[in-house]
Amino acid sequence: MEKDIKIEKMERLNLVLNAFRDVGRLLASENDREKLIKGICDILVERRGYYNAWIGLFDGEQKVELMADSGFDSRFIAMKAQLEKQKFVRCIQGTMASDQVFSVHDPIKECTDCVLAQNYRDRGALAVRLAYEGINYGFMVLSTPRKLAMDEAEKTIIKEVADDIAVGLYRLDLEKKRERAERATQRSKIRFKTLIENSLNYISIIQNHSIVYKNPGLRKIHGHMNRVFEPPEFLNIYAGDRDRIKEKYQTLLANDITRIEADFRYYPSAESSEDTALRWALISATKIDYLGVESILTNIMDVTNSMEVQRFLRIQDKMTSLGRVTAGIAHEIRNPLSGIYIYLKALKKIYNQMGDITKVVSIIDKIELASHKIESIIQRVMDFSKPGQPQFVMTDLNHYIDEVTKLTAVTLRKNGIHLIKELDPGIPQCFAEPHLIEQVILNLVTNAAEAMREFEGDKQICLSTKVSGDFIVICVTDTGPGIPLACQTKIFDPFFTTKTSSSGIGLSICHRIILDHGGTLKLKSSKNNGAQFIIELPLDKRSEKQKGQEK
């Protein structure tokens, strides 16, 4: 009897070894998950001596997505339907609750709700989780002779088989990820190659001062950039820009900077010549690792056309401004000149008729007044184009702003405008030319009052001062109709005006005065919400020479 038991154990051990060998081969060779688990079930039934076997695999949400079986009749169809609805029987619930082998000695009695229970008459059942690296891939259930259902050696064997299967599934996942990564890399390479080779920019890779790659697309269309950036001498770069680009290139090589962003001029042919028309290029260059070697990737765009358009727009803008100034001067001078012409005709008529000499004197006075007006206009234009150097002195700005309020108080009151002063008494004195600052404030207050002349809402002008950082801030705020958005970018242009009775040079002069003080004059306005002019003056605008003289 004992001899028979030993023979039975040896036979079962041979079955185990053969099954392990066959399962191992299948795990190493099969890359299809469905074929893999089906093959394992067949091996365990045919070679290991189990009555039946079934395996279920989970998806990422722990739902059964794949099943295989061996040794069952048509009743397994009902189990598949149940699992597809995520209704797990007792043995599967056991594998989900523990990583140990779950054993059932008598399934008919213990698993009454299982549709497969009748297949386990006089048999036991073993169920185990298929898990590796914290991932639960699924479960495996085997039907075994009842005497082996509670056998620890059998459980150990089942556990080892389950672990090998889980490792195999893990390998398949890694293989799929690798394949996906390779496909993604290949697609990326193709897209990158297509993009680079058909780019109209000049793209190159430089190693040890030598160009090891140039994109071919550029050379087909824009061949004159073929040698635009060739270190270390950069002979095709215009001499006036060459040293600057060389320095940036060397600085990038030394890792003092991470990127070159610069524009430069270059000769469009290999033979640079002073007679050759220069072109403009914009470069972006950075360090990369190319085939294991530290390299520099350059991306160069020809921006000659863009530069020419910008230059044209600048000239056009200057011509527009010049036209506006010319038209303004002509308009301002034409009126007094017309008066002079009329007065001279009247004077000639009186002379011919030998009329009253007092009329002659009156006409001469009017001619003189008109001449003075022309001289005043020319002087204002000269002051704007070549302003004199302001004479800075220590100035109490609040005092001169207060003087402006006294000068304008009567006029504002007659126009129904309420003047509000919010002057910070603690602001320090600063270096400025007081009468010029007074002129600016007076001009801004006058403009605000004129803007509200026909305005029917609440009319207020607020003058305020404060210190902000290293600046004294003066605000002139009104509650008038505001300045249209379309006009806001032009209000400081010479002779630009929306009023019929204005020369349009006042705000330009104000802007120039504040700039000469080292400050800024800005507008903050929106339609129907009034306008606010903000002046920022530095607390100390003295030159270093002035400061040295005071010491």
Which of the four pLDDT bands, split at 50, 70 and 90, describes residue 194? confident
Specify the CATH number for 393-547; select among 3.40.50.300, 3.50.50.60, 3.30.565.10, 3.10.150.10. Answer: 3.30.565.10
First to last CA, the chain: 122
Q: What is the pLDDT of residue 548?
A: 44
**Under CATH, which number does the domain 308-385 receive?**
1.10.287.130
Dist CA 537 CA 546 (whole Å): 18
The span from the CA of 103 to the CA of 115, in Å, is 17
Give pLDDT tens digits for 373-390: 676 666 666 665 555 566
Amino acid 109 reads K
Task: Give the residue-averaged pLDDT of 86-105.
Answer: 86
CA dihedral sign, ordered 165, 170, 171, 177 = positive
Determine the Cα–Cα distance for residues 137 and 59; give it in Å rounded to an integer.
8
Q: 541 near 533, Cβ under 8 Å?
A: no
Per-residue pLDDT for 221 more than 70?
no
Q: Where are the CATH 3.30.450.40 domain residues in the chain? A: 2-177
Which CATH number fits the domain 2-177, given the four candidates 3.50.50.60, 3.30.450.40, 3.90.79.10, 3.40.50.1220? 3.30.450.40
- pTM of the complete model: 0.44
Question: Which residues are bridge partners to 395 per DSSP?
Answer: 430
Q: Nearest-CA neighbor of 38 among 17, 18, 66?
A: 66
Report how far residue 202's alpha carbon sits from residue 225's, in angstroms, rounded to the nearest whole number. 7
pLDDT at 321 over 60: yes
How far apart CA 300 and CA 263 sit, in angstroms, is 9
In the chain, CATH 3.30.565.10 sits at 393-547
Question: Residue 273 above 60 pLDDT?
Answer: no
pLDDT of 385-418, one tens digit each?
555 566 788 889 999 898 888 888 888 888 889 9
CATH classification for the domain delimited by 202-302, as one of 3.30.450.20, 3.40.710.10, 3.10.20.30, 3.30.1330.30: 3.30.450.20
Average model confidence (pLDDT) across the chain: 81
What span, in angstroms and rounded, lies between the C-alpha atoms of 482 and 525? 6
What is the model's pLDDT at position 313? Answer: 77
Which range is most confident: 17-21, 175-179, 451-455?
Answer: 175-179
- pLDDT tens digits for 281-315? 999 999 999 888 999 999 998 888 888 888 777 76
- Is the pLDDT score of 355 beyond 70? no
Q: Is the pLDDT of residue 144 over 80?
A: yes
- CA distance linking residue 79 with residue 89, whole number of Å: 9
Q: Each residue of 232-270: pLDDT tens digit?
A: 999 889 989 999 999 999 999 999 999 999 999 988 865
Using DSSP's 3-state secondary structure scheme, residue 61 falls into: coil
H/E element, 303:
none
Location of each CATH 3.30.450.20 domain in the chain: 202-302
> Which stretches within 254-396 are classed as H helix?
304-353, 357-385
Tell me which residue of 445, 502, 516, 496 sits closest to 475, measured CA to CA.
Answer: 445
The pair of structure tokens assigned to 19 is 């099954």
Residue 129 predicted with pLDDT over 90: yes
